[in-house]
Structure 1
Amino acid sequence: MAVSSVTPSVERRAGVLVLVRHGESEFNKQDRFTGLKDPPLTTNGVREAIDAGRTLQTKGFHCDIAFTSKLKRAQQSLQLILRELHARSVPVFDDAALNERNYGELAGLTRDAARARWGEVQVHKWRRSYDAAPPGGESLAMTAARTLPFFDERIRPLLAAGKRVLIVAHGNSVRSIVMSLDRLTPEQIVNVSFATGTILIYRLDVLGMIVERTEIPVSRHA
C-alpha cells in the first residue's frame, strides 16, 4: 500500500472509492459470455457478495452513496453488500453507463461454442484486447467511452468532496475505470482482469490523486 505524501488536512478530506465486481452469476458458472444478458446470482455469487460486504465492514468502510448498473446481478450484489454494511438507507443510483460491455453475437454462448464458431485466437482477441469488438457488440474502448464520462461527471466530484462511494458493476466496466485510475495503457489493460467478488479500494485526495490502493481477491467457497 502506498504511503501518502499529502498533508494531513488534505488526507482528512480525501474521498474513498470502492469498486466491486458482482458475485458469480448463472452465466459465469456455465462459462457463458454474459454482456447485457441478465442472469441472476448463483448461490455462490450470493456468498461472494455477502463476503465482500463483510470484508468492507471489518475494514471500517462507511458508505455515503452507491452506484450500480441496470443489470440484476450487480444490483443484487450491491443490496447484499449494503445489508452487511448496515447501509440500506444510503442513496443508490443505477445507470446503464455502468453496464457490462455488450458482447453482441457472443452473448449467451459458452466459451467453447464461441471458439468452435470463430476460432480460439479471434475469441481471445475479442475478450482481452482494448479495441476489438465482437460482431454486434462493444470493445473495451467503447465501454470506456460511456463509463468514464459518467465516472468523471458523477463520481469524481463526490470523491473530491470527501464522500465514500461504492460502485458495484461488471468485469469490463470495472476494468475501464481501473484503467483510468491506474493510468494503464491499452497494452497493459489486456493483462488485467478481476474475478467475481473482487474488491478494489481507492483513497483519493481532493486533487483526484490516489493516496492508497488496495485489491482484495474474492473469498472462494468449497
Structure 2
Amino acid sequence: MAIYFVRHGESEANEQNRFAGRQNTPLTDLGVRQAHQAGAAVVALGIRFDEVHTSTLDRARRTASVVTSHLQEEPATRVETHALDERDFGVFTAANKSLVKKAVGFRGYTECFHSTTGTPPGGESWEDLRERVRRYYVEVLLPASREGKQVLVVTHKYVVEMFAVVLADLHDYRDMKIPNARPLSEEDLRRIAAAPAVAAKINDLGEHVEIRLPALLAGACVLGAFLQLVLRSPLPAAVLSTAITTLLMCSTFFGMLRLQPWTLRVTTGLGRLVAGTVLKSAAGAALLFTTDSVPLLLLGLALLVPPATLAPVLALLWGGDFHASVRHTLAASLVTPVVLLLVAATQRDPLPRGLVAASAVVLLCAVTLPTLVAQRLRHRDPITAGRLTTNWNWLGSAALIPLAGLTGYALTPSGSLPAELIPFGLAEVALVVAAFALPRVLVGVLETRRHLYVTQGTPNVFLWLTVGAPLVARAGVLVKLLPALTAGVFFAALVLDEHIFVRMFRRQLTTAR
C-alpha cells in the first residue's frame, strides 16, 4: 500500500536561513498553515492512514499532529523515532547557511552536504545517513506497506531526500530542494531523484549566486560602465526607470516571501533605529541648510535617503536578523520623506521635494506592490510560497546583478572621457567614501548588531543618484563622474563588508572545531 512522505512545515530556522539539524526549532505561522494545507491535500487523496511515523523533533511532531487532525480517523499507530531525525550538521548546526557556503566555498559546501563521501565537521556522514534511512525503509516502512497499511512519514529535508536516493537506488547525490509540507508518494520521490541534470545545474547556479553576490554586483557595475564607454549610447530614461523598477520588484517579491507580517509590529531595537535615523537625518539636513557646494549637498542627500531595498537580502546573507532589517528599512523609508518635507518647507530649492516624490514611487512600485503580492501568495498557498523560497529565492538576488550593470552603464558619462575627468579630485573621492563611512561610524557608536549595520550603512544609492541628478547636471564636468564613482564605491563596500563578516565567521568555526 501507499507510503507518503512529508517534510515538516517551515521552521524558524528555515525562515532565518539557519541549519537546525537536531536542534529543536518551532514552526513559524507559515509552517503551521503549510501543515494545515498538507492535511487538506492528504484528505483530497482519499487515503486513510493506518500509521504515522515522525522524528522525535518538535517541528516534525507538530506538523504530523496538524496534518492528521484533518483526517476523519486518526491513525491507529503513531511512531516517534530517532531514525527519522534530521542529519547531524556538527559545527554547522545553528549557523547561517549563506555564511557557511561563503566560508567553505561551493566545493567545500558540496563536499560536506551533498557528496557521497562528505561529512560536516563533527556531524553525520552521507553513508551513515543513507544506511540509517535505508534500514528504516526496509525493516519498518516496507513491511508495513506489504501488510496493506497506509503509512505517513513526517520528517526532515535531508531524510526525505535520502528516502528518494534509496527508492531510486542512486549512488550519487544532489540537493533536491524538497519543499516544506508537500505530501510526496514513493513515485514522486523517484521522479524527483531522476530529475534531469539541468535541475542540478540550476541548483548549482543558485548556490553560486548566493555565495558570490557582492562580487557579482561589483563586476556587473564595472562591466556596465565599460560598455557605456565602448558603446557611447545612453539609455532612454523611460527604459532605464522601467528596467530598474522591474528588477527591484522581482528582488522585493522573493525577499518578502519570507516575511511574517506580525514581526513589523515588534518594537525591539526601535530606540536604536530612531537614534540612528535621527543622527543621519540631522547631519544630512544640516548640510542641505548650510552649503551650496554640490558635493556636500550630495553627501547630505546620501545621509537622508532610506536604506537600500537590498538591505534585508544582505542581512539574510550575512547572518543578521532578516525581520529586524525589514522593519528598519521600511521604517526609515517612511520616516525619511517626513524629514525631507520639513526640510523642503524651509527651502526654495525643489530638491528635497523631488526626493520625497522619488521615495514615494520607490515605496509603491518597488516595495509595496511586490510585498502585497508575496503576502497574498503566503496566505492563499503557503506550500507554494515555501517552495518558491526554497527553490527559487536566489532569483531575487540574481535580479540585482543586471540592476548593478544598468547602474554602472547609466551613471558613466557617455562618450569618451574628456581629459579633465581623468585626474579625479581627492575631495570628490573623500566625499564618496564619507557617504558610506559616516553611517557606519554612527551605527558603530550606537550598536554593533549586524542588521542595523547593514540597513544604516547601505543607503539607497539608486534613489540618491536619481534625485541628485539635477545637481550633477548643473555642476562642473569633474563632478559628472561622481555618480559612477559612487556606484563603484557602493558595490566595493559590499564586497569589503562581506569579506569582514566571512572572516569573522571562519574564526568562529575554527574555535568551534
Per the TM superposition, whether the score is higher than 0.5 is yes
CA 1:101 to 1:41, structure 2 compared with 1: closer, same or farther past 3 Å?
A: same
Aligned equivalent of 2:29, options 16, 33, 43? 43
Does structure 1 conserve the Cα–Cα contact (< 8 Å) formed by 2:25 and 2:59?
yes
Q: Distance in 2 between matches of 1:28 and 1:45?
A: 10
- Report what 1:5 is aligned to: none
Does structure 1 conserve the Cα–Cα contact (< 8 Å) formed by 2:116 and 2:127?
yes
2:18 counterpart SS class: coil
Q: Once the two structures are superposed, what CA deviation does each residue of 1:55-105 show, in whole Å capped at 9, x if it has no partner? A: 010110110011000100100000000001234353110100101100000
- Report what 2:145 is aligned to: 159
- Report what 2:16 is aligned to: 30
Aligned equivalent of 2:384, options 203, 219, 222? 219
Structure 1 stretches (4+) deviating beyond 4 angstroms? Answer: 212-215
| TM-score where L is the length of structure 1 | 0.81
Q: Distance in 1 between matches of 2:185 and 2:384?
A: 16
Q: Please list every run of 5 or more consecutive structure 1 residues that lacks an aligned counterpart in the other structure.
A: 1-14, 203-209
- Report what 1:68 is aligned to: 54
Q: Distance in 2 between matches of 1:142 and 1:196?
A: 24
Q: Distance in 1 between matches of 2:62 and 2:73?
A: 14
1:172 counterpart SS class: helix
CA 1:194 to 1:89, structure 2 compared with 1: closer, same or farther past 3 Å?
A: closer
CA 1:64 to 1:20, structure 2 compared with 1: closer, same or farther past 3 Å?
A: same
Larger radius of gyration: 2
Partner amino acid, structure 1, of 2:113: R
Does structure 1 conserve the Cα–Cα contact (< 8 Å) formed by 2:7 and 2:180?
yes
Aligned equivalent of 1:181, options 139, 149, 167? 167
- Report what 2:100 is aligned to: 114
Partner amino acid, structure 2, of 1:61: I
Partner amino acid, structure 2, of 1:220: A
Task: Give, in angstroms, the shift of residue 119 of structure 1.
Answer: 3.0
Structure 1 or 2: more helix by fraction: 2
2:130 counterpart SS class: helix
Q: Distance in 1 between matches of 2:72 and 2:96?
A: 37
- Report what 2:185 is aligned to: 201
Q: Distance in 1 between matches of 2:42 and 2:108?
A: 38
2:25 counterpart SS class: coil
Q: Which has the higher contact order (CA 8 A, sep 6+)?
A: 1
Q: Distance in 1 between matches of 2:124 and 2:101?
A: 18
| TM-score where L is the length of structure 2 | 0.36
Task: Give, in angstroms, the shift of residue 149 of structure 1.
Answer: 1.0
2:136 counterpart SS class: helix
- Report what 1:138 is aligned to: 124
- Report what 1:99 is aligned to: 85
Partner amino acid, structure 2, of 1:79: S
Q: Please list every run of 5 or more consecutive structure 2 residues that lacks an aligned counterpart in the other structure.
A: 193-381, 389-513
- Report what 2:5 is aligned to: 19
Does structure 2 conserve the Cα–Cα contact (< 8 Å) formed by 1:21 and 1:196?
yes
CA 1:179 to 1:21, structure 2 compared with 1: closer, same or farther past 3 Å?
A: same
1:126 counterpart SS class: helix
Identity, % of aligned positions? 29
Task: Give, in angstroms, the shift of residue 33 of structure 1.
Answer: 0.8
Partner amino acid, structure 1, of 2:79: F
Structure 1 position 192 matched with structure 2 position 163: no
Aligned residues: 198
Structure 1 or 2: more strand by fraction: 1
Does structure 2 conserve the Cα–Cα contact (< 8 Å) formed by 1:67 and 1:93?
yes
